[in-house]
Each structure stands twice: as structure tokens, then as C-alpha cells.
Amino acid sequence: MARTAADDDDDGPPPAYAAQRGPRRDPRLKDLGISCMLNTEVGALLAVIRRRPDPYSYLPPAVAAAEEATFSALISSLKALRGLLFQPRHGAWRCSDPSTYLTAFLDVVQSEEVPPAATGVALSSVLKILRIDVFDECSPGARDAVHAVLTALTNCRIERISDAGAEEAVLLRVLQVLAALMRTRAAPLLSDSSVCTAVNTCFQIVQHAASSRGSELLQRTARHCMHEILQAVFARLPDIRDDADADADDLALGGSSGAGFGARCMVDIFSFLCSLLLNSTDMVVTPDGQAGAFTSEEDVMLFSLVLVNSAVELGGEAIGKHPKLLRLIQDDLFYHLIHYATEYSPLVLSMICSTALNLYHFLRRFLKLQLEAFFMFVLLRVCGGASGPQLQEVAVEGLISFCRQPTFVMEMYVNYDCDPLLRNVFEEVGKLLCKAAFPASSSGPSPMTTVQLQAFEGLVNMITTIADNVEVEKAPDHGAYAVDVSEFRLFWVERWDSKETTWVDFVRKRKLRKKKVAVAANHYNRDQKKGVEFLKLCHLVPTPPEPRSMAYFLRYSPGLDKNKVGEFLGDPDEFNLRVLKEFTETFDFTGAILDTALRTYLETFRLPGESQKIQRILEAFSERFFEQQTAGVFATKDAAFILCYSLIMLNTDLHNPQVKKKMSEEDFIRNNRAINDKKDLPREYLSELFHSISSNAITVFSSTSSAAAEMTRSRWADLVNRSRSMDPFTPCDFKHKLSREVFIAVSGPTVATLAAIFDCADDEETLNQCVEGLVSVARIARYGLEDVLDELLCCLCKFTTLLNPYATTEETLFTFSNEIKPRMATLALFTIANRFGESVRGAWRNVVDCLLKLKRLKLLPPSVIDPDGTGAGRGGGSERPGHRHRASASDAAGVIFPPTHRGAGTSRHVSGMIGRFSQFLSLDSGGESLLSVGSEFENNLKIIQQCQAGRIFTDSAKLPEEALQNLGRALIFAAGGKGQKFSTPVEEEETVGFCWDLLALLASANLHRFAAFWPPLLECFSAVSQLPLFSPSPFAEKAIVALFRVAVRLLAAPPPQRPSDSRVPEELVFKSINMMWKLDKEILDTCCEGISESIVKLLTEHAVGVQTPLGWKTLLHLLTVTGRHPETFDQSVAAMVKLMSDGGAHVTRFNYAAVIEAAFGFAALKISPLDISTKILELMAESVNWLIQWHKSGYSDPGNSGGFSGSSSSSSSVDEASRMGNMATNMFIKLAEALRKTSLVRREEIRSQAVFELGRAFNLAATGDLDFGPAGCLACFNLVIFAMVDDLHEKTLEYSRREGAERETRSMEGTLAAAVELLADVFVLLLPTVAQAPGFRTFWLGVLRRMDTCVKCDLAAGGGAGLMQELVPRMLKRMIMEMKAKEVLVAREGDELWEITHIQIQWIAPAVKEELFPEDPNFYFYTIKDNPLHGIEENDLDEWDLDDGGDDIYEDTEARVFTERGYSFLFGPAPPDLVLPAATHRSKAHHMDG
């Protein structure tokens, strides 16, 4: 491109430097920078080397030349390096051999002639080179370079430096270079020995810094550098192959693999750190100035623990891949942690707890027994206060750190509590937290100590963790939590088989068996035989027991009396000897020395005092030890036995205070000569045993439990030995069933502790956490732990102060208004009851009592019983249904809240709500405290509204049947007065009414399963009525009104929402209603308006829903009863008329009888107007049309009549007719009977109308072809017509005997006449059918008898001829003429009916005899009064009965004889041998004597 004039303008500004843009830097610029840096360092180092001590003094040339010659090699090397810095190279510095630019500086570092300042500058230069990564692991010669740097650092002669400040400056630089070297990218090229050298060099500086010459800065820097080196080393452990910890020969320096350092150096470093813990005393600077690295043992412990922690944190799970490193942790490290945990300051214990927590995080799979020992020997003991309050506080904090881990709770439970060979670690932890958090005093609120607060926090955290993980979408059935252990398994050594059962069930069965073993141990301690029987009963040992199972029981059962175990094992019985052998084989003595094995063996039982038993036990031990010895010390098992016995004797001799002359070592060795197959045992071996026994006695005769023992070396050796064969720690997550059982282990102490803390705490923060814990308990207990949930709710009810029997209403209200604790308890109570009511059982009673107390305090809103705000749910308040409003204090109960206002937590899940329980106490988004919002009364009302107590009942459909029944029982007993104290009758009435309102709400919400949950409540009604203070008046009164509301809701429900079999709920409701009014029949009068209103509503709006005879009977019966009152008569009779006037839409063959009965009740009512009664009677008669319609439709199936008649209160006569099998006849008779009964009322108009309608009914039936059949016709006469005539006749006679009753007599006589006329009309109407009946003759005699009865009564007031004297002959004539016309009555010889009629006419109506029966001279009548016939042989006469009336007829070919009413009649010529008494009167056929 051509240049322009402007480009050459000298006056313009200089050209701007075009810097390269972008994220990457030009490599050439980086190399140039390195060159410049190296040039600067070389120049600085040369200047320091050449610098004279006194630059202004004169130095002779010879001396100057000599000094120059001293540093000539170093200076030449530096100058040569400077000459190479800016020369063109073939590659970058990274590709160059680092020795090219490092050698000159390292030579200066190792030089003994250069001044300290030059050494420091050279070290600074090396530090810069390492920090900017001039070379890395890929650079040529990098391995030699890093080793050269490390060699230079170790060869740096510090001791030549006389000035302390200069020495410290150089040491600081050395530490910096060491740290940088271990962090450089080429550090992995170092060998294992080089890494150990670097660590050793750093530790030497640490020791040097701890001396009198070291400053605080150097000490801190040295320790920090040590920390950085270990971090750099162990950070590489996860990248090392599993076989990287092989022998050093396989990873020698310069090996072809080039892998660099591996796990070998880490093992050495870790072993060094453990040795620091072991030899902490030797590392302390002594008062006389002896060398030491630390000022105190605690300083050593903290230093080493910090480094161990770093190594574990960085190595992580990779440590488990390297057996040597893992063994150090399993054995040495953990032993030191347990041993030193209680011997130093809280800071050391805190570091030990942190280390143990890190080991739990990364290596718990390999530390099962070690972690158990740490918990049992350190945390649980120190937390219990055994080592003082300071350590206790630290230990509790450490324990809480474990509890905060997500899976700690479950893993502890599964790996320890469910393992029969181990302790219940989780249960011990939970109980210890409860014990530590439990308030010291329960007398009142008091501040909690630090330890109590920490333990309380850990307890709440643990319970919340369980609650968060126990929840499932659908809870299993209660039976799913059952565990079956009905078969024997040697569960101590059983392993999970996935083909047989799930892992969860396997763990649960192990835990159950472990629990039963603990119970069996308790039985065994008290009685050995009972203990064994319990073992067999629980299938823990087979039947009969076998040695191995008994051996495991004696070996691993916690709490066994060691005396009994020792006595059992030493018994000479064959079975006991086999158990002893199996017991001994549970021990693993591989690699153990004799005294350690013997200590381990004798710790499991108390050695008996009898020598023979001791011998048997030691023989078994010796045999086992001899089999498992690895050193080959013993030639025979007898040698082991003799030495064991000798050790027991030595132990007794050395440690028994009664032995004055103690055995010496020489004596012990001499006593055991030639016992090893006639040879001596090694002297060193015996000497070691002697010193071990001398310094640490064997506990031979102690019965102290292992829980109180100390962790000795021998016990630790046994633990490490057992850990090799123990199942590894199983990391696991929460499972629903296991989570539930985890909580069961600590449920009792947890609830008690939280309740006690809530009772004693006074600060809001603690109360919030406590309520969160209680709600978490409820979240867990909802899964089949009803007892726990009941206990929790009872505690909360207590804290509400609502159930304090000694506080007045004013005191309770004051406490509730001015203290936050009762409010929180109330809110928690109803929150739990709402959310987890499906698991509440007996505590419903307490909840109901709290509700009733709130009701009395006027704090319950109306929405509790009227959730829809319609007022339909109210019925038990201050206003009695059906009554005029009665002024009382209850009018002010409750406050009407805006329908849009909802309490906090309404729509959130509980797990979200308990995150901070104080949000329950927030009224709006502003989160104001309830203590500062509005007045006290408004504040209380808002809190109670947030409780949403009404949801317990409106949402009760989710409750299982058992919980629902318990809630119903609680309400019933509360309504019955159980546990209630009423100050006034008004208060009692309101409380009972409120309870029944809630019961109605409960029933309405569960209509779909009403038949399942209501029957048990029916039994409660009888139980309540037996209570000592039971008052039937308010109870039954409120009950029947509430039950009618339930009935309305049940019958008003549309078919899809009704139960599949709605007949059963309907029968239950009406059965309950009947029970209530029978408790106090006066309530039908006091509550008549309310009852009538409900019944009218049911009949007018929901009659189609009434499907059972019991329902119809109850409704119609109560309708007639309540309709007797003038204030309810109009609406009741209107409903009755409407029911019968709708064309029979709701009247069926099943409720017909009840409808007719109710209609009769209204028709015969005294207060019923004549037109109403007439209308009802007309409707009753017209109902025959329904019968005709049903009959023609085939509804008169005899098979269905049983359910109808059994469901209605028919009289015995109807039951008799029902057996005839004709439904139409039965229903018609029911109608006719009702009309018959109406014909007996006092009002003549109604009687006459009833008789008329009865006749009309018969006419309608005949016209409609309602076929009664012969039997049905007879039933109609016998049960209706005859009964009506008889009753009217008796009534007439009764009135005729009264003085001044002439009018009533004539009135009744008129009705009787109408009835007789009706009899004749119906007779004529039904004659063709009734004449076909087999009993027609008897029936006809019945007709004649009633005619005779009516005609012979002198009914006239003055004794003259009455109405019946004229009517009866006329009716008889009509009936006989009709019978003749229908050829029913025919004059022929031998016709019985003709003969009977002929005779009866002589008695009844002789005036019409001639007209009806013309005279016949061939026949005579002989009448014998009060004298039976005699002289007639039975073989001459045939005897037979016409009916049940007992009229006997004797006949032969010529004469007929019969008896009636005390007379004997002979019709026809008398037999020749018949002797007639003197009183006999003979007459013509047309004449009869009186």
C-alpha cells in the first residue's frame, strides 16, 4: 500500500502500540517475560554475591582477587546463564531442560561460602521459577530437576549462619520453596523417599522453630508449610492406582514406569502422624531445654490431628483402596482417637470428633466396629457428663454433627441396632440426647443450659430428618408393618438372601429378633428355664434347643448375667459341654498372644469359683487357642492349658491383696518348665506374659458389664481382629418401614423430652423449635403409631391450658390471651389433628374437650359447624330448632370472618409449614407477631380461625373407619356429659347441641360410608344413657334434630353421591332417631316444630329418597305425633295430604301401610277440622285404586310380603292375613282396619264418613276386580266388618248405661246401624266369592250371631222398639234373598246351611220367617235347655266340626241334632230310644220356644 504525506509528518503523535486482543497470550511474549525474569534474578544474585560488607572501605587488589576467586565458579555459572537467556532457541522454556537455569541458583543455595543474603536471593529465584511453572512434568529432565531442588533444600547449611534473623529468613524461604515444590506440576515425579524427605525436612524446621531461637512467625509458617505439603501429597491419592502401595522395589527411583510417588510415602507419613499421637510426651520441649518440637502435649495432639484431618479430607474414599493405609486408620489412628479423647482439653476432643466425622464420611464401610467403639467409649460417655461439663459440651456438639448427616440416623440403626452382635448405637444416641436435653426442673420456665440447648437441637434435627424421609405418597395398610418370625433361624450369623426376602424385611426381622433376645435375657437372668422356654416360644432357638444357637445366645445377648453364663458353661452336663465348645468357637484367636486371647475370652462371662468348672472352661479355651496359633509356640494343647492355668494363678497371686509374698518373674518361668511336650517355652514369651499380667490384671471374677469397661490394648486388639471377619458397614438411605421403626426406638423419650422442654421453656425460639419437633413426631406417628400420636395430642391439650379443671373461665381466657405458649399449643394441636387425624384414636376425646372449651370461651367461629356459611349446619347453639329465639349469652359466640380470609398454613403441606413454626403465627404477609395485632379478643379469634378446627369434620372423609368411630364416640360421650362440668342449664344445652352439630357434620361428610362407621356409634347411645349424670332431655332433644339434618342430607344427595346400598344408612339413621325419642318421649312435644319441619321437608322435597319401610314408618309416625300440636298441625297435615294426593307417586306397596296408619292418625285427630278429616278419609278410600293398579301389575307377589309386613308395625291380625300370601288383601285389610278404627271416634260426622268410605273402598275394590279370594273375603269380614260391628255395639251399650248420654247413644246407634247396613252391603257384594270358602257356614253363623246381638239389644231410650229392631230383619231378608237368588241357600233335605238359617231366623227375626221359610208339617224342633242330649249312641251318629267355634252336629238318616248357646236342638222325627227330659218342648217347624 502506498505511503502518503501524512504518514511522514514528524509533527504527528507517536504510533500507538497495537496490543494483542483476545484471551490467549502470545507464547513468545511469555518466554520473553521468563527470560527477563531470569535475567533480573541473575543480576540481583550477582550483585549480592559481589557486595562487600563495607562498600566504602578500601580492599587491596590481592584480597579482592582472592574473594573473587572464592565465588568464581558460582559467578561464572551465573554469567553463563545470563548469556543464554536471550539467545534464539529452538523451543520455549517449557521444552528446555530445567537444569539449564536451575543449576546456577541451586549451587548458590548449597554453597557454604556465600552470605545468607545470597542464599535467600537464590531461594527466592527458585521460588519464582516454581511458582510460574516454567517447566512441568512433561519437560525434559523435569524428574532430575525436582529432585535436584529437593536435594538443594536439604543440603542448605543453616547452621553456618550465625545471625538469628538471617537464619530465620533463609528458613522461611526454604519452607516456601518446599511448599511450592510440592505444589508444582512436576511434583508427582518425586519418588516416595523424596516426599518423605521433604516432610522430614519440614518437620525438622518445625522442631527448630519450637526451640528458643525460633520466632512465632517461623513456627506458624513451618506448621503451615507442613500442612500444605501433606495436602499436596494426599491430594494425589485419588489418582493413584490401587496397586500403587506395593513394595518399594516395584517403585524404585528411576524406574521405567515413571509414575512418581505413590501410596507408600503416604503410608509412611500417616504412620509418622500416628506416632506423633503415640509419642506426644517425647515431642514436648522439656524444662531443662532438651530438644522438642512442641511446647505441650496438647500442642502435639492438635498439630497431628490437623494434619490427619487434612490427609483424610483429601484422600477421601481412595484411602479404602490401599490396605496398608486403611489398616493404619483402623488400628493405630482410631485407638489413639479413643484413648486420648478424654485426656486433653475440649479443643483436642473437638478435633478428634471432627476427625472421626471425616472418617465416617469417607471410610465408614471399613470402620464398622471402630465407629461403634468411638460412640460407646467416647461420645456417649462424655456426653453423659463422665468427663466434666466442658468436655460434655464439646462431645454433644460432635454428636450433633453426626446427627446432621443425611443418612447417619438410618445407617446407625441398620448397622448397629439391627445387628445382633453389636450394641444399639442409635437407640443409645437418641436416649442420650433426650436425657441431656431434658430440663433439670419441671417446676416452671427456666433458662436452658448450653448442653441442653445443643442436645435439644440435635434431637429436633434427628426427628425432623426421620420425618422428612418417612413420608410416602400412600401409606401402607396397618398390617403391612407386621413382622413374622414364626420359624427358627440362626440369625446371629444369617446373611441376606435376595431370593427369600427383601433387604428391608430382612433387617426388620433381625431387629425384632434382637429385641426378643433382650427380653429373653431378662427372663433368663431371673429364671433359666423360663428364659429357655421364651427362646423356644419366640423361635430364637429350635425345639429342642441345639448347642450352637444356645452358644450364640450366651455369647452375644446384651444384659445377660455373667454369673449365670459362667455357671452354665462350667456345668458337666453333656449338652452344656457341647454349648461350651460352640461358645468357644465363636472367638477368633488368630495372631493373638495368649494373655490377650484369655482376657478377651474371660470378659464375656464370670469364671465360676469351682475348680472343676474352671478346668473345663480353660480346656475348651486352650484347645481353641492351640488350633488357631500362628507362631507355633505350643507343641500340644496341654501345654496351652497348663500355661493358661498358670496365668490364672499368677494373676491371683499378683493382684490379690491377701497374698503377701508375690511371685517373681523367675518363679513364674521356673514353674512352667518342661510343659511344652517336655520342653521349655521360650523365656522371652514367658517374660512378656509375666509383665503383661503384672501391669494389667485379668478380670477373672468380675460381673461388670462390658459397657462400663475401658478400652484397653487387649480389648482393642480383639476388636481389630473381629473387624476382619465382620460384615462391612452398609451405607444406606432411608426406607419408609425402616424409618418408622427407627423412630419407634426413641419415640417414648422423645415425646416426653419435647413435652417437658415446651413446658419449661419461655423464649419463642425454643418454643418454635419444640413445636417443629412435635409436628415432626406427628408426621412419623401417622404411619401406624397411634399410641404415640395420642400421647402427643394429650400433651398438647395440656399445654393449651384449656382443660385445666381448677381454672375458671376468666383465668383460662386471660392465660390464653397473654401467653404465647397456649396459642402455639392450640395451633399445633389442631394442625396435627387436621393433617394426621387418620392415625388419631383415643386422643379425639381430648381434642373434643378443647373444642368445647373454646366454644364456652366464645372463641369458635360459626364456620366450625357451618362451613358453607349457609346456617344449615347450626342446630345446637343457643337457638333451639322449632322454638322461638331465647336470649342468652351464646348469641355472641364466635365472630363472622370474611370468607376470603384464611389462616396461615392452610394450603401448604406440613413439611413446609414446620420449617419455621412461627409462620403459623403470622396473620398476613407482613408477618406481624400475634402479640401485637389488634385487641386480645380479636387476636384470639384469629388464632382459632387459623386452627381451622372445622376441617377436622368437613374433611373427615379421609379418616379411616377406626379413627372416625373414635371421633364419633368422643362427641357422643361429650354430649352425654362424660367429663363435662356445666355451670348452668343453658351452658349444658349449648354444649350438647354443639356436640350434635359436629356429629351431624361428621356424618354428612361420610355419607358414602355411613353404613360402616355408624353402627358402633349406635352402641354408644346405650352406654351414654347409663352414665351417672346423664340427662336425657338436652341429649335426646339435640340428637333428634341433628339426626334429622343428617337424614335430610342423606336423602337429598343425588344418586351418584349416595352409597351403593343406601337402604342400610337410611335404616341406621331412622333407627337412631327412634332410639333418641324413646329416651325421652317428651322431646316430641318440645321439639315438635323442628321435627315437623324436617319431616315435611323430607316428604315434600326428598320423598323419592326414602327407600326403607323403617324410614317411612318413622317419618309418618313422627309426622302424626308432632302434628297433634296446633302449631305444627297445618304443615304436617298438608304434607300428608300432598303425599296422598300426588297420584301415589311416592306411595308404594312397602310404605302403604305406614301411609294409611298416618292418615288414620290425622283423620281421627281431635283438632283436625271436619273438611280435613273428610278429605283424608276420601283419599284413604281412593287409595284402593293404587292397590288395584299394583295388583294388575303383578306386584302382589307373596314372596315380597314378608319384607313389608316385617318392616311395618302391623297388628297380629294383619300378620295372620299376611300368611295367606295375598299382598293386595293384606294392604286392603290395613286400609279397612284404619277406616274401622276411625269409625269409633267421638265425632259422629267422622264416624259416618269412615263407614261410608269403607263401603266405598269395598265397592272400588269390587269394581276394579281386586280379587280377594274366598280366604281374603273371610278375612275382610272377620278383621274389619265383624270387628267394626262388635266395637260399635259395645260402644253403644257403654253409652246406653251412662246417665244423660241419650244423645251419644242415639249417635252411636246411628253409626252401628250404618255399620250393619254396610255388613249387608258387603255381604251381598262379596257373596259369590265368599260362598266358595270352606268355612262359609261358620262365617254365615257369625253374620247371624251379630244380627241377633244387634236386634236383641233394647237400644231405645224409652225401652220401645229401636232402630235396630226394624233394620236387622230387613238386612237379613236382603241377605237371605240374595243367597237364595245365588242358590247359595237352597231348601233341600240334608242342606246344613238351610237348616241352620231356618233355626237362627226363629231367634233373630221371626217376623220374616214365614216369608223366607214356608211351614213344613213333617219336621219338628225339640229344644232342650241346659241339658245335653243322651241316649244317642256314637256309633249311630257321625261327629264333625264346621269351624273352630266348636258347634257339633250329630246326624243320622232321619234326625239331626246340634247344640248352640247351651241348648240342644233336634230337627226331624225323634229317635225311638231317645229319652227327652221333662224340660223338652216340642214345636212345629215354624215355632221355637225361648
Dist. CA 1172–CA 1166, nearest whole Å? 11
* Residue 1052: all three cell numbers together: 337429598
Dist. CA 1449–CA 1399, nearest whole Å? 14
Contact 535, 541 (CB under 8 A): yes
What would you measure as the largest C-alpha separation in the chain, in angstroms?
204
> Measured between alpha carbons, how far is residue 221 from residues 169, 176, 202, 1066 in Å?
11, 9, 10, 90
- Alpha-carbon 173 to chain mean position: 67
Contact 1223, 1199 (CB under 8 A): no
Contact 1037, 975 (CB under 8 A): no
964-992 burial string, b = 16+ CB within 10 Å, else e? bbbbbbbbbbbbbbbebebeeeebbbbbb
> Measured between alpha carbons, how far is residue 1423 from residues 1349, 1414, 1458 in Å?
21, 20, 10
Dist. CA 887–CA 884, nearest whole Å? 10
The DSSP output letter for 680 is P
Dist. CA 124–CA 479, nearest whole Å? 76
The string of DSSP codes covering 1028-1066 is TT--HHHHHHHHHHHHHHHHHHHHHS-GGGS-TTTHHHH
Q: For 705, left (φ over 0), alpha (ψ -120 to 50), or beta?
A: beta
Dist. CA 239–CA 971, nearest whole Å? 70
Dist. CA 742–CA 426, nearest whole Å? 8
* Residue 1382: all three cell numbers together: 245365588
Backbone angles phi, psi at 107, to 5 degrees: -65, -40
Contact 1042, 1035 (CB under 8 A): no
- 1481-1484: strand order across its sheet: 1438-1441, 1448-1451, 1456-1460, 1463-1467, 1420-1425, 1481-1484
- The residues, ordered by sequence, that sit 6+ positions from 1356 with a Cβ below 8 Å of its Cβ are 1362
Interior angle at CA 155, CA 151 and CA 156, nearest 5:
120
3-state DSSP helix/strand/coil % of the chain, to nearest 5: 65, 0, 35
The DSSP output letter for 1423 is E
- The residues, ordered by sequence, that sit 6+ positions from 527 with a Cβ below 8 Å of its Cβ are none
Dist. CA 699–CA 946, nearest whole Å? 65
Dist. CA 701–CA 605, nearest whole Å? 9
Dist. CA 958–CA 760, nearest whole Å? 36
Dist. CA 1414–CA 936, nearest whole Å? 108
Dist. CA 1391–CA 1419, nearest whole Å? 14
- The residues, ordered by sequence, that sit 6+ positions from 193 with a Cβ below 8 Å of its Cβ are 248, 253, 265
Torsion of CA 1452, 1458, 1463, 1469, to 10 degrees: -30
Q: What are 1448's strand-pairing partners?
A: 1441
- The residues, ordered by sequence, that sit 6+ positions from 462 with a Cβ below 8 Å of its Cβ are 403, 409, 430, 433
Q: Is 1216 annotated in the active site?
A: no
Give the active site residue among 494, 610, 765, 1294.
Answer: 610
Catalytic residues: 610
